[in-house]
């Protein structure tokens, strides 16, 4: 049955043609729900080139100028930097495009989990009961998000990081690789948690913390 439906996959575009896009493309291919029609990137040097086997069609203005000719109005933003990813996603929605979410088939998702549009959950992740992942978020390779966590829009949970139960992460925050956020902690908007940190106290908006236990960097 799976093989007979290959041609019926929904076509999407990927916005971004860099290292992070490679991982997103792999997750899309393995998930099997979508067919990548083309890539979009604002770097003119990439236009007309192939990236990971897919043509780079043009930049964002190409999407608008040739919207009647384009095969799909659905896509995902594959840009690692939070601020840029959020701005591109906002622009796409404002211009009538729709965002899809991508979940690698190796991901374990428990009951009651909600994943917002435009988000991607990479290989080996575990998302536990009643966790909420916002829009345009990245839950990167082998990260875990435990029960009743709330991950805001545009957040990046880097590879190997762990959110214990009831953790709140505000919009646009970055949880660095191999970090641990202990139970019940609240992370504000725009926070950067340095790689390998252990956060045992709440972190205010726009602060940067590093270390184990994590301390504010002035």
Residues with a catalytic annotation lie at 147
Q: Residues comprising the binding site for acetyl-CoA?
A: 156
Q: Residues comprising the binding site?
A: 18-20, 80, 156
Strand ordering across the sheet containing 174-175: 102-103, 120-121, 138-139, 156-157, 174-175, 192-193, 208-210, 215-216
The secondary structure of 48-81 as a DSSP string is T-EETTEEEEE-HHHHHHTTTT-S-SEEEE--SS
Query: Which of 3, 29, 27, 25 minimizes the C-alpha distance to 16?
Result: 25
Q: Residues comprising the binding site for substrate?
A: 18-20, 80
Give the bridge partners for 54, in sequence order. 51
Q: Which residues have CB under 8 Å from 1's CB, separation 6+?
A: none
Is residue 167 within 8 Å of 146, Cβ to Cβ? Answer: yes
Is residue 178 within 8 Å of 160, Cβ to Cβ? Answer: yes
Q: Which residues have CB under 8 Å from 62's CB, separation 6+?
A: 40
Is residue 97 within 8 Å of 12, Cβ to Cβ? Answer: no
């Amino acid at each position: 049955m799976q093989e007979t439906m290959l041609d019926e996959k929904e076509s999407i575009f990927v916005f971004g043609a860099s290292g992070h896009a490679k991982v997103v493309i792999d997750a899309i291919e393995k998930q099997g729900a979508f067919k990548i029609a083309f890539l979009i990137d604002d770097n003119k040097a990439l236009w007309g080139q192939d990236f990971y086997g897919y043509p780079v069609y043009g930049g964002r203005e190409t999407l608008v100028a040739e919207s009647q000719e384009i095969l799909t109005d659905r896509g995902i933003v594959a840009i690692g930097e939070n601020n840029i990813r959020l701005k591109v996603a906002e622009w796409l929605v404002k211009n009538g495009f729709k965002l899809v979410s991508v979940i690698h088939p190796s991901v374990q998702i428990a009951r009651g989990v909600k994943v917002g549009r435009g988000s991607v959950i990479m290989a080996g992740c575990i998302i536990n009961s009643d966790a909420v992942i916002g829009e345009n978020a990245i839950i990167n390779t082998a990260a875990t998000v435990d029960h009743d966590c709330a991950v805001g829009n545009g957040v990046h949970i880097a590879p190997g990081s762990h959110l214990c139960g009831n953790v709140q992460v505000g919009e646009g925050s970055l949880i660095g690789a191999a970090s641990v956020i202990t139970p019940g902690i609240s992370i504000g908007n725009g926070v950067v948690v340095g790689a390998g940190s252990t956060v045992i106290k709440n972190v205010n908006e726009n602060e940067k913390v590093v270390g184990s236990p994590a301390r504010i960097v002035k």
